Homo-oligomer: A and B are copies of this chain.
Amino acid sequence: MSNIPKIVILGAGYGGVLTALRLQKELNYNEADVTLVNKHDYHYITTHLHMPAAGTDNPENARVSISKLIDEFKIDFVKSTVVQIRPQDKKVILEDGTLSYDYLVIGVGGEPETFGIPGMLEHAMNIRSINSVRLIREHIEYQFARFKREPHRTDYLTFVVGGAGFTGIEFVGELSDRIPELCKQFDVDPSIVRLYNIEAAPTALPGFDPELVEYAMNVLSKKGVTFKIGTAIKECTADGVIVGEGEEIRSQTVIWTGGIRGNRLIEEAGFETMRGRVKVDEHLRAPGHENIYIVGDNSLIINPEGRPYPPTAQIAMQQGVLCAHNLVASIRNQPLKGFEFKNKGTVASLGKGEAIGIAFGKKYKGRFAAWLKKAIDLRYLFIIGGIPLVFRKGKFL
């Protein structure tokens, strides 16, 4: 039995990976035992998933093997699924074992928030993981093949994207690029295909700069996207969606990007939550648990305007860095630091060669914004994997 503290990190998303990478760098030899637990043996680049979902890129380019990221001499890796978190016992129950911890980092990621829309959980697909985007891609291609055998079924070629936030907008941008390719591949008249983007809020990309939102909607409308903004989806069925005042859009493909809530594991563990997320203290710890940090989609942080920060890769990465710092400080009995989000800007892709964004206090659109998006993706690869990863995956971005 070693006496050194045991740190367990649950989840190898943006928050978990950054925590692990920084611990690996900052901890001295034998200062702590670090174990990273993840469902898959790879990390996926969530901000890139809209491309393999639409089929404009290979899913391989949206994931990185964990063994390529962490140094397994310094950090243990366990490929397993978390079944239960037991703060009272300082234990985590895995699908195939149990882990004890002194410090826990919860970075297990969120779940789709369907706001209770009937049928959404059962009938819609989500852009959430490598496996989920493979399903979306294959599902879409399959609908083209089915249509060729049953040409009266135009619902096979009607695609509904629920939610016009960043994921929804980036996905319809890619899908509107892919549809003409699929039409060519399957000899389909492009005028038969319908692509809807439906958003209940009064605007697409709520909270984003209105001028850029207008630009984005113009670009996407020209590419064939039909927007229904300020229109709620009332129900999702096996045959499509019911929107607004009862209008039915018949579709075999509904992709829900409308929201993220906390993971059910968090509530089940007994933490106090809001929409499944825990309002962490300034050091990113769960209230009442000095040894439990929560990063990413499951942590709730209120911004200076009094609203929660949206769950993004950017904030999760910054949380991971601070979380690692505070863990090391705790072990060394040094003072902890408080979290302060530094907004480095946001860029949303609208498909090939088109994007909108705000960075360095300026607005960008078109080709330069698209280049900026690539630069941000490359920067991320550099942060997590250094130059080799940039060369291996970067050429595909």
A residues near B (Cβ < 8 Å) are: 131-132, 134-135, 137-139, 141-142, 144-146, 148-149, 186
A-B interface, 6 closest residue pairs, ranked by CB to CB distance from nearest = A138-B145, A131-B148, A135-B145, A138-B142, A142-B142, A134-B145
Q: Is there an interface contact between A145 and B137, defined as CB atoms closer than 8 Å? A: yes
A186: contacting residue among B134, B141, B148, CB under 8 A: B134
For residue A148, which residue of chain B has the nearest CB?
B131
**A145 CA to B59 CA in the complex, in Å?**
12
Which residues from chain B contact A131 at a C-beta distance below 8 Å? 145, 148-149
**A145 CA to B131 CA in the complex, in Å?**
7
**A92 CA to B65 CA in the complex, in Å?**
62
- How many copies are assembled? 2
Q: Is there an interface contact between B141 and A135, defined as CB atoms closer than 8 Å? A: no
Which residues from chain B contact A137 at a C-beta distance below 8 Å? 145
**A139 CA to B139 CA in the complex, in Å?**
9
Give the distance to chain B from A292, nearest Cβ to Cβ, in Å: 30
**A270 CA to B137 CA in the complex, in Å?**
47
**A146 CA to B161 CA in the complex, in Å?**
20
Q: Is there an interface contact between B139 and A135, defined as CB atoms closer than 8 Å? A: no
Give the distance to chain B from A181, nearest Cβ to Cβ, in Å: 13
Most B-side CB within 10 Å, residue of A138, A144, A148: A138
Most B-side CB within 10 Å, residue of A139, A142, A144: A142
Which residues from chain B contact A138 at a C-beta distance below 8 Å? 138, 141-142, 144-146
Q: Is there an interface contact between B134 and A139, defined as CB atoms closer than 8 Å? A: no
Give the distance to chain B from A186, nearest Cβ to Cβ, in Å: 6
Most B-side CB within 10 Å, residue of A132, A137, A148: A148
A145: contacting residue among B139, B144, B146, B148, CB under 8 A: B139
Give the distance to chain B from A118, nearest Cβ to Cβ, in Å: 21
**A149 CA to B142 CA in the complex, in Å?**
17
Which residues from chain B contact A149 at a C-beta distance below 8 Å? 131-132, 135
**A149 CA to B132 CA in the complex, in Å?**
7
Which residues from chain B contact A145 at a C-beta distance below 8 Å? 131, 134-135, 137-139
Q: Could you list 19 further interchain pairs (A-B, Cβ under 8 angstroms) beyond the known A131-B148, A135-B146?
A: A131-B145, A131-B149, A132-B149, A134-B144, A134-B148, A134-B186, A135-B145, A135-B148, A135-B149, A137-B145, A138-B138, A138-B141, A138-B144, A138-B145, A138-B146, A139-B142, A139-B145, A141-B142, A142-B142
**A146 CA to B138 CA in the complex, in Å?**
9
Which residues from chain B contact A134 at a C-beta distance below 8 Å? 144-145, 148, 186
Which residues from chain B contact A135 at a C-beta distance below 8 Å? 145-146, 148-149
Q: What are 21 A-B interface contacts by the 8 Å CB criterion?
A: A131-B145, A131-B148, A131-B149, A132-B149, A134-B144, A134-B145, A134-B148, A135-B145, A135-B146, A135-B148, A137-B145, A138-B138, A138-B141, A138-B142, A138-B145, A138-B146, A139-B142, A139-B145, A141-B141, A141-B142, A142-B142
